[in-house]
Structure 1
């Protein structure tokens, strides 16, 4: 019972760290409340500041990607209980972001400034909508499973873990990667774009686009024409293309429709959604 209680406490603390980090990320990128924000007076020479910021972003990217890989999870659970693997990932991702917030170096300079009140309101609305989309999608997937709370709660109760059934909720019918779309809105929608903010947004966008290529390569390799059919119907990250129920193959036969596609890729999609959101 003591061990199960310790697992539960560990998971709750990891979740609280995530929750604080999520709020901190909004304030950091938005430039309010917290003392150290994405913009500010430069404190280091430009070259050194760029190098520091790039290293900080790289630490997060490596942690976020490597710890999400199945081979790393298999290695890690040789040393820690499987029930806290997800909570450990969430905690490490949150700590990587907290390091970035702490050591971030502003670069100075201004790229654009929107002074029109309507324009500023529209951009701030886009900023808030991006973070809102990220949060809503986590709940559509299963927020508490995604951030490790469900795993430690089941362990505390002595109930075996079962995977959460996954469907393609609304946003996944519009774009294949709604979580990434939310992050892009949050990072680019600002009425005052400084050189620092532009650097942050550009590097994180590059990371997202590279990550999507690796993720979709895995999905195609695992599910073949099933994922190709979904991919051909639904745009990657920019909504607007009309969906079709079936897509003809080279031989003229129809590939599986949406329900078959969902059933075949639901577990893989859940894993990639986990990778995309655990840090926030």
Structure 2
């Protein structure tokens, strides 16, 4: 991959993964918001028996979680392609569960919830871009290796933005799944599940950060002991 052709191939793969991820992101926004032009919708009338729909949706969610776990440790481009492909399959085969848990008719409240959804979508887009910038195998990194790109390394300050990217993505997910004036059974279940996953990820990320801080604090002490 150090040759010019290899670098061009890396940029092509990075651009392809970005286009697929962008298409998936836009479809997912329409899927959650129930936009008329969206190809798939989270809510709708029952098309199959309830237990069949629940079982299929559960399998699709398990498949998405498995894809995320399998993508861990792979390059940023491969992660984007894997997760995007499985997310598109989930939305394509999703079966609405019908029913309605609540619906707000107050125009002001509907406007606030819609604004929260829009803010969540913007935060997710920001986190997606920031993750690529900070990744060593993303589109930006591949572009830097081209002769026309800049070979400058990402400054140390940018590496500290990884926590900001995680926070933006977590908050964006919560705003998107809960920022809805009307919510059906499937939407409520997905919102609760997403909240649990985001909470677990935040706790796990904080524990990792605390562990790194402790290791950094112990390193100078260990060096002093060895020197003594």
List alignment gaps of at least 5 residues for structure 2: 218-228
- CA displacement 1:15-68 (0-9 Å, x = unmatched): 110111111111110001113211112122222212221222222223223422
List alignment gaps of at least 5 residues for structure 1: 74-84, 228-280
Q: Counterpart in 1 of 2:63? A: 59
- Residue pair 1:7, 1:155 contacting (<8 A) in 2 also: no
1:204 to 194, 206, 220: 194
Aligned length: 209
Where 2:101 maps in the other structure, the secondary structure is strand
Against the structure 1 CA distance between its residues 220 and 62, is the aligned structure 2 distance closer, same or farther, given a 3 Å change threshold? farther
1:14 to 14, 17, 33: 17
Against the structure 1 CA distance between its residues 161 and 202, is the aligned structure 2 distance closer, same or farther, given a 3 Å change threshold? farther
Q: Counterpart in 1 of 2:33? A: 30
Where 2:98 maps in the other structure, the secondary structure is coil
Q: Counterpart in 1 of 2:176? A: 186
- Residue pair 2:27, 2:40 contacting (<8 A) in 1 also: no
- CA displacement 1:168-211 (0-9 Å, x = unmatched): 67x95xx9823201110011110111001111111121222222
TM-score with structure 2 length normalisation?
A: 0.80
1:153 to 138, 143, 147: 143
Q: Counterpart in 2 of 1:215? A: 205
Q: Counterpart in 2 of 1:116? A: 106
Q: Whole-Å Cα distance in 2 between the matches of residues 127 and 208 of structure 1?
A: 16
Alignment of 1:39 onto 2:29: no
TM-score with structure 1 length normalisation?
A: 0.66
Against the structure 1 CA distance between its residues 225 and 114, is the aligned structure 2 distance closer, same or farther, given a 3 Å change threshold? farther
Q: Whole-Å Cα distance in 2 between the matches of residues 176 and 135 of structure 1?
A: 12
Structural RMSD (CA): 2.8
Where 1:190 maps in the other structure, the secondary structure is coil
1:92 to 82, 89, 98: 82
Shift of 1:226: 8.1
Q: Whole-Å Cα distance in 1 between the matches of residues 154 and 187 of structure 2?
A: 39
